[in-house]
A and B are shown apart, each in its own frame.
Chain A
Amino acid sequence: MIPILEAIDVRKAYANHVALSGVSLAIPEGSIFGLLGPNGAGKTSLIRIITQITGADEGEIRFRGERLNPGHGIQIGYLPEERGLYKKMKVGEQLLYLAQLRGLSRADAVQRIKHWLLRFDLKGWAEKNVEDLSKGMQQKVQFIATVMHQPSLIILDEPFSGFDPINANLIKDEILELRKQGATIIFSTHRMESVEELCDNIALINRSRKVLDGPVGVIRNQFKTNTYEVEGKGKLMVIHPDFEVIEQIERENGHFFARVQLHAGVRPNDLLRYLIGSVEVEAFREKIPSINEIFIRRVRETMPETLAEQTV
């Protein structure tokens, strides 16, 4: 299947710095894609190229196999990190204006605005000025503006920053619903933990380069370190030929929490058998690395000198 969006060796430089140095990506149709990386990594630059706010210096973006052109604009819905509304404009009029700019006819737009305002509990607010709305309501209006023209690709830049938890959940549900209807979603964020459970695929970007990409499950398995978390009662022997206790935390009443890394060739059941013999096991699970941990490890491997300066 042709990916809905493909970036091929995209490069972009500004006067004083390089924003993207040869980034290639493929975003499968109907997936939720996480574009992850610290602030200043180049995520927003890439998105602005995809939304055609700027152009790439080199490389190519393909939308469903076609070279990206202005005609694709209306198939993309973009909620920027710097998002706002005309403060002195009525909610209904503003949505109508934005919908018409995205190619909807007036009649269509009116219909959909009605639908969305009802859905987000904003029905009585259409005639109010945006500045009279609470911040949470404004966020809902911004989200409606992003998706009301039924784009097949929705790009959300730092979607949950600034959203209150209730709205964030509401938006999450809507996003999942939109995916069910066939839309593809790109999340761009530096807070990797906020989206990793939602994403099917991710790409990690650091310092203008892609450092890793693929399906979340595959990546996490790839970066498994054969480490297990154990909780129980008693005390673990610190030295053993088959495994190494990386960390052990003693808790009240003789309880403990430990992270244990198996040596090569040792199976989890071997550890379990040993544990059963020496302590009372209350919990035993494999430690799967978080995307954030994978990111740090990956960056340390590929460019160890840069990590010290970074705040992840």
Chain B
Amino acid sequence: MASKFLLVAQREYLTRVRKKAFIILTLSVPLLIAAFGAFMVKIAQSDSSAEVVEVRDDSGLNLAARLVSTPQLTFVPATGTLAEAKRGFQQAKHDGLLYLPANLDVENPNNVQFFGKGNISLKKQLAVESALNKVFSELKMQKTGLSQEQLDRLRSAVNLKTISLDDTGKEADSNAQATTGIAYALALAIYLFIFMYGVQIMRGVGEEKSSRIMEVMLSSVKPFDLMMGKIVGIAAVGLTQFLLWGLLSAGASTLLTPLVMGAGEDQPKTEVAAASTRLAGPTTAQNDQQNAAESPKSTPDSKSLLANPTNRFSIFSTLGNLPFGTILFGFIIYFLGGYLLYGALFGAVGAAVDDQTDTQQFMFPITMPLILSYLIGMLVILRNPDGPVAFWMSMIPFTSPIAMVIRLPFGVPMWQLALSVFLLILGFVSTVWVAARIYRVGVLMYGKKVTYKELGKWMFYKE
């Protein structure tokens, strides 16, 4: 009876979402994610903008104005004499002081000094040296008579624009990173969902068995309804949890990240910005390289990755070119199909054994294809989404939920998708059938050590 099935699903759902563990987990994971995100932002920030170096330029060559600030390294003019500057940069919490002495020889600049707090990292030293090298080489080039304009033209920045060409010859922006990221995220979501909530199904059945309520239940509900009610109820719990995680993480991140950003800006950034406008010259080659890797459309003028609107636009345009309809449709199908298929098997295992510790021997053959499809998916399919491994694994119902969603963002021929979905439906109908038979016999079986042979027999028991 449908209403009984709904009652069972409702109970499974309500008892679970009201548990303290559920509430705590639902609230704490987004906080962790947001905290992790904020941490990453902070790291990125400290990596990109934390280094502020004061420059004391006594060379008389106006070298300070030629030093180019990058996101990782900002040069600001020092105030006062060298002795004052040495104290001053520490008070201002700047990271170093670069001293360009009066008797600086452009051809052989070996008396430049850099003062820092404690040991100076190699990275910082290299960055400062690189900036100085550039200044000196420019100076030398200018000495040969090249104008600034000619210098700018000499600099080259190569940007590869990647374009995916489909069968009809239509061109579309492709971005391997975005596509891979989506494939990875989808596969991980399905993998986690099946594992987390599949195990909950198994535990739930085990609890019903050990609390001896099965027979009471079975006198009013058909075993199939009881099993499917549990599977569907727990799926709803999982969807609720994932949805809340998504919403809360987004919420927490938008709250937390500005806080962290603010904290990262306790250094006089405005001052830095104001000062660096004077110092800023043409962009560095280092900067260009970075942008080139990220963005097919970045121009040599771009100041930083984040501040570059064309870069962002390019990722979005790539996303727009992905087969979103197919991805979404496929994800829902494989998500539900995979969960039902594995959920039924987990339920059957819970029904077959008395003791939770006995589940190991039956868990192994279930988790094996799941783990394998995830690992092979990440290691092989992601790199070669059209290869034979990818094809076969996206056909077998036990591996297709993960293998196929990895392939989806890269584009999958329609006939393969159709065949795979058909096989998946066939697969979950038959596993649910098998699981229901094991379940029906298993739930009333106590005190018996179950073997595979035994399970085989249960399949053919009469009603």
* Chain A interface residues toward B at CB < 8 A: 14-15, 48, 51-55, 57, 70, 73-74, 76, 78-80, 82-89, 97-98, 100-102, 142, 145
Nearest residue, chain A, Cβ from B4: A101
A14 to B463, CA, bound (A): 11
A15 to B444, CA, bound (A): 15
Partner of A15, one of B217, B221, B457: B457
5 new A-B contacts, CB < 8 A, other than A51-B218, A83-B216, A101-B7, are A54-B463, A55-B463, A80-B219, A82-B214, A84-B216
Which chain B residues border A51 with CB–CB below 8 Å? 218-219
CB of B117 within 8 Å of the partner chain? no
3 closest A-B pairs by CB:
A84-B212, A80-B215, A84-B211
A11 to B37, CA, bound (A): 66
Which chain A residues border B221 with CB–CB below 8 Å? 101
Query: Contact at B446–A82, with CB atoms within 8 Å?
Result: yes
A50 to B115, CA, bound (A): 92
Which chain B residues border A88 with CB–CB below 8 Å? 15, 19
Query: Contact at A89–B219, with CB atoms within 8 Å?
Result: no
Q: Which of B2-33 contact A (CB under 8 A)?
A: 4, 7-8, 11, 15, 19
Could you list some 26 contacts between A and B, CB below 8 A? A15-B461, A51-B219, A53-B444, A54-B463, A55-B462, A57-B462, A70-B1, A70-B222, A73-B220, A78-B215, A79-B216, A82-B212, A82-B214, A83-B216, A84-B211, A84-B214, A85-B213, A86-B213, A87-B211, A88-B15, A97-B7, A97-B11, A98-B220, A100-B7, A102-B220, A142-B216
A70 to B219, CA, bound (A): 10
Nearest residue, chain A, Cβ from B461: A15
Query: Contact at B220–A101, with CB atoms within 8 Å?
Result: yes
* Inter-chain CB contacts under 8 Å: number: 68
Partner of A73, one of B219, B457, B461: B219
Nearest residue, chain B, Cβ from A99: B220
Which chain A residues border B1 with CB–CB below 8 Å? 70
Which chain A residues border B457 with CB–CB below 8 Å? 15
Interface digits, B422-434 against A, CB 8 Å rule (1 contact, 0 not)?
A: 0000000000000
Which chain A residues border B211 with CB–CB below 8 Å? 84-87
Query: Contact at B216–A78, with CB atoms within 8 Å?
Result: yes
Residue with the greatest number of chain B CB neighbours at <10 A, chosen from A48, A73, A80: A80
Q: Kindly provide the distance from the CB of B92 to the nearest chain A CB, expressed in whole angstroms.
A: 60
Given contacts A89-B15, A97-B7, contact A78 B219 (CB under 8 A): yes
A274 to B121, CA, bound (A): 123
Q: Kindly provide the distance from the CB of A123 to the nearest chain B CB, expressed in whole angstroms.
A: 23
